[in-house]
A and B are shown apart, each in its own frame.
Chain A
């Protein structure tokens, strides 16, 4: 069936460096993608989203890139800080509306002080 998955289960980054978290998706018809951050023992927190008609979107210290040709999504975090340590999930919303989303397997980001 359709799925959203991540390339790396764990990523260790030195504080101050940039982080790149990758995600592969398989539903080429998906219209909307979201990145969530989940800290230990908490619910996911929205970071940034992107629609399929865009290939890049920037937020505060974060950038999401979408490559529809290879069905790849990435989250870039600039100047990674200890507070960025968490598990990051990409999620896929096929229609972009009030439908259920499919979550990827997650990548754990460890920031080394």
Chain B
């Protein structure tokens, strides 16, 4: 089955530092990836749509300079939380739409998530 790898799974950082989260599609190519944020006991909130080779599309209210997204290849998208503050602490999840191979093309496949704690 389709596998999306997200790394790291857990990170603790000091306030003011930047953190990079990687999202990789391991057995399929993904021209479109999505980044979500999830608070405890709440649903997934879409932050941005990451498109290979072009700029990401951010949802309303999401600061693009705060959450930098890079989708440099068909299998990798990265989210960088710049100058992180305690309010950025959350569970970040990526997903990828399959576009080739045997994966279903209508389905988003999700990574395992990254727990970010900013001290």
Asked if B43 and A105 sit within 8 Å, CB to CB, the answer is yes
B111 CB contacts on chain A under 8 angstroms: 43
Q: Which of B43, B107, B110 has the most CB of A within 10 A?
A: B43
Counting contact residues on chain A (CB < 8 A from B), the size range is 20 to 34
| Interface bin, chain B | 20 to 34
> When the two chains form the complex, which single residue of B32, B93, B115 contacts A98, counting CB atoms closer than 8 Å?
B32
Which A residues from 41 to 94 make CB contacts under 8 A with B? 41-46, 49, 89, 93
Do B112 and A43 have beta carbons less than 8 Å apart? yes
Residues of chain A within 8 A (CB-CB) of B31 are 98
Contact pick for B106, options A42, A44, A96, A105, CB 8 Å: A96
Residues of A bordering B, CB below 8 Å:
32, 34, 36, 41-46, 49, 89, 93, 96-98, 100-101, 103-106
* 24 contacts across the A-B interface (CB closer than 8 A): A32-B106, A41-B115, A42-B113, A43-B93, A43-B95, A43-B113, A46-B108, A46-B109, A49-B106, A49-B107, A93-B106, A96-B106, A98-B31, A98-B32, A98-B97, A98-B99, A98-B105, A100-B34, A100-B49, A101-B108, A103-B43, A103-B44, A105-B42, A106-B43
Identify the B interface with A (CB < 8 A). Answer: 4, 6, 31-32, 34, 42-44, 46, 49, 93, 95, 97, 99, 105-113, 115
